Amino acid sequence: MHARTKFLGAAILVVGTVGYLMATGIKDTGMYFLTPSELAARVAADPSFRNVGVKMGARVVHGSIQRDVASQTITFHVTDGQHTFPVVYRGLAPDTFTDDVDVVVEGRLLTDGTFRATTLLAKCGSRYESVPRA
């Protein structure tokens, strides 16, 4: 074999291996980003979708936040205006987490309809609002 043929064969093998590893890594760690309405529609169409990790973007329902300081558990409801899901999160919430704030929760929908969040992100409203004009 010529050196050029060996080099091209090795290059194809390396590129193919890297491509395969990238594809499987994205498949294993990739997540759906859904609204509560989209999540409800997916679960209605395919009940096994409850076992899939998702990120859900929604707004915290006013007055629904309940904190258990002893277990560091926070329960609250999120909505997109059409569907509402109860959320259970264990851990420390961001300082910006309050009523009526936009949040992104990452986790899984349980069989009882509760969303078990492993990550909680809250939007900081002051950063995204324009400065009032005088």
Read off the pLDDT of residues 5-40 as tens digits, 9 standing for 90 and up.
Answer: 888 888 898 888 888 888 776 655 556 789 999 999
Taking the model in full, what pTM does it have?
A: 0.71
Q: Which two tokens stand for residue 67?
A: 């904190």
Among 114, 54, 123, 125, smallest CA distance to 90 is for 114
Residue of 19 and 82 predicted with greater confidence: 82
Say which CATH architecture domain 31-124 belongs to.
Beta Barrel (2.40)
Q: Where are the domains of the chain?
A: 1-30, 31-124
- Evaluate whether 113 touches 86 at the Cβ level (below 8 Å): yes
- Tell me what percent of the residues of the chain surpass a pLDDT of 90: 46
Alpha-carbon gap, residue 78 to 87, rounded angstroms = 7
Angle at 113 between CA 108 and CA 118, to 5 degrees: 25
pLDDT(55) > 80: yes
Q: How many CA atoms lie within 13 A of 125 on its CB side?
A: 9
